[in-house]
Amino acid sequence: MSPIIPLDDTIAAIASAITLGKGGIAVIRVSGPDAINACRRIVQTKSKKAWESNRVFHGYAKDLENEKLVDEILILVMRSPNSFTGEDIVEIHCHGGIIVVNRILDILLKSTHVRLANPGEFSQRAFLNGKIDLTQAESINKLINANNIRAAEIAFKGIQGELNNQINLIKNSLINQLAEIEARVDFEEDFQEFDYDKFSKNLNIIKEKINFLIETTNRNRYIENGISIALIGKTNVGKSSLLNLLSKQNKAIVTEIPGTTRDIIEVNLIIKDIPVRIIDTAGIRNTEDYIEKIGIKKSLEMIKECDYVIYIFDLTIGLDKDDEEIIEKIPDKKLISILGNKKDLIKIKKITNKKYSKNIIFMSIKERQGENLLTEKIIEKCGTKEYQDIEVLLNERQMSNLKDSLKNLNDTSDIFDKKLPFDFLAIEIRDSIKNLAKLTGEELTEELLDNIFSKFCIGK
C-alpha cells in the first residue's frame, strides 16, 4: 500500500500512562527514519551491543545544553521493517512519574528534528505501512480502553485479526458471486441459463452472515459500553441504601426523612464481569418543594434514558396504587425486578396485585438479605449468559459500513422479483464489496483516516 500521508518525518511520544508518583518506569516511543540517529544524540552508553536491532541496552539520557545526565535508562531498538509501525523504532524506558519522562521527551524534541506525535499516529503509521489493517488498529484502541475482561478479550481477538477474517470471508463469497456474473456477461454462450433462485439463495446465505454480525453487536454492545440501571421508587423505600450496598461505599445520603435524595447519583461497578452504572434517583411523590420537583422530573426522565430499571417499594406499606402508576411507565423489557424492601420489619403488607407478584423479590437491604437473588436477576435480564462465544464486536464506524454493505445486497430484491437482467446485480454486489473494503480500511480517504486515528490517545 502506498502511503497517502507522508511518512518521512520522525515522531515521538510518551507511550505509557503518566501520573505523579506512580509507575516505576515510563516509555517514550520514537518512530521514523531518524529515530535511531536522533536518540543516539541524547543517549550516553558504554554498551557494545548498542543500537543493534531487537536488543535492550543500558545507558543515560543527557541534556545536550549542559551535558547533564538526567536519568538512567534502558533503550530498545527495533529496526524497520520488524517493528510495530514498520519503521525504525526506539523505545526509551526511563523512570516513571511526570517530571523525568517529560524532561527526556523535551530534550529529544528540542535537540533533534523529531516532532511530537499526534494522537494515534503510531497506529496510523502501522496501518499505512501495511503492518495492521484498520480493524486491528481500532482493536488496539479498544483493548487500551477496555474496562472489563470480556471487552479486553474481544478486543484482543480483533488485534489478532478476527474481525478482519470474518469480513474477508464474506467479501470473498461476494467476489465469487460477482465473478460468476461477470464471466456470464463476457461469455454468455458458454453458460446455462441464469438461475435466479440459486443465485438469490447464495446471496441470502451471505446476508445472514452479515446480519449475524450486526445482531451480535447490537445484543452485546453493553460489554464495551456497560449498562445503566436506574433505581426508581417512592420516597424512603431504600433506593439510596441499595446504591450504597451494591457499591460497598457510603456514596448517597440515607436518612429516615422522605425526600432525602434530590438529584441523580451514579456509581460504576462491575457485576459478574459486566460494567454497570447504577443510578440512584429522587423518590417520586407529590410535593410542592421546588428543588424536589426538579429531582422527581429527572427520575421520570431517567426511566426513559436508562437501559434497565429496578423498582423498589416498602413492604411495610405494600405495593399501592401510586407504585402501580409509576411501574406502568416502565417498559416491560427494561424492568429487571420489583424489589420489596425492609423484609426485616415485622409489619409486612400482603401483595394483592397478581400482575406484579411474580416479578417481586423480597429483600432487606439493611440486613443484606436477598442481595444474591438481585444480582442473579440483573445477570439474567441483561442476557449476559449469551455472550460466552462472542468473537467480534463492531464499533459504530464498522457497523455503518456493514449496514451499507447489507443494504446493497437487499437492494437486489427487485432484480430477482422482476427477473431483471442479471448483470444489474453486479452493480449492487460491487458496491457491497466496496463497503466491506471501507470497513477493513482498503478503501479510505485521508480525511476519514485522520478522523479515525484522532480518537486514539497520544503514544498509541
Ligand X SMILES: Nc1nc2c(ncn2[C@@H]2O[C@H](COP(=O)(O)OP(=O)(O)OP(=O)(O)O)[C@@H](O)[C@H]2O)c(=O)[nH]1
Q: Which stretch binds Mg ion (CB under 5 A): 49-57, 102-110, 198-206, 236-244?
A: 236-244
Q: Choose the one of ligand X, Mg ion, none that binds residue 26, judging by a C-beta under 5 to 8 angstroms depending on kind.
A: none
Rg (CA), the chain: 30
Backbone angles phi, psi at 340, to 5 degrees: -85, 115
In the complex, what is the shortest distance from the CB of residue 278 to Mg ion, in angstroms, rounded to a whole number?
12
283 forms part of the interface with ligand X (CB under 6 A): yes
Q: How far apart are the first and last CA of the chain?
A: 21
Other C-beta atoms closer than 10 Å to the C-beta of 179 total 12
240 forms part of the interface with Mg ion (CB under 5 A): yes
Helices 134-145 and 162-186: crossing angle, nearest 10°?
Answer: 160
Lookup result for grid cell 456514596: 251
Q: Which of residues 243-282 bind Mg ion (CB under 5 A)?
A: 260-261
Q: Choose the one of Mg ion, ligand X, none that binds residue 383, judging by a C-beta under 5 to 8 angstroms depending on kind.
A: none
Per-position DSSP letters for 385-442, written without gaps between them? GGGGG------HHHHHHHHHHHHHHHTTHHHHHTT--TTHHHHHHHHHHHHHHHHHTS
Q: Which stretch binds ligand X (CB under 6 A): 21-29, 94-102, 232-240, 444-452?
A: 232-240
364 forms part of the interface with ligand X (CB under 6 A): yes
The answer to whether the CB of 395 falls within 8 A of the CB of 240 is no
Peptide bond into 275 cis (omega under 30): no
309 forms part of the interface with ligand X (CB under 6 A): no
**Pick from 109, 113, 44, 39: nearest CA to 76:** 39
239 forms part of the interface with ligand X (CB under 6 A): yes
Among 237, 246, 392, 429, which residue sits at the site for ligand X (rule: CB under 6 A)?
237
In the complex, what is the shortest distance from the CB of residue 231 to ligand X, in angstroms, rounded to a whole number?
8
> Side by side, which strands form the sheet with 25-31?
43-44, 55-63, 68-78, 89-95, 25-31, 11-14, 115-116
| CB of 14 or CB of 363, closer to Mg ion | 363
Alpha helix stretches (DSSP H) within 131-221: 134-145, 149-159, 162-186, 196-220
| CB of 111 or CB of 260, closer to Mg ion | 260
Q: Choose the one of ligand X, Mg ion, none that binds residue 445, judging by a C-beta under 5 to 8 angstroms depending on kind.
A: none
Binding mask 246-275 for ligand X (x = CB under 6 A): --------xxx-xxxx--------------
| CB of 158 or CB of 233, closer to ligand X | 233
In the complex, what is the shortest distance from the CB of residue 326 to Mg ion, in angstroms, rounded to a whole number?
15
Cα–Cα distance measured from residue 183 to residue 420, given in angstroms and rounded to the nearest whole number: 18
| CB of 23 or CB of 259, closer to Mg ion | 259
In the complex, what is the shortest distance from the CB of residue 369 to ligand X, in angstroms, rounded to a whole number?
8
Contact positions vs ligand X (CB under 6 A):
233, 235-241, 254-256, 258-261, 282-283, 341-342, 344-345, 364-366
Contact positions vs Mg ion (CB under 5 A):
239-240, 260-261
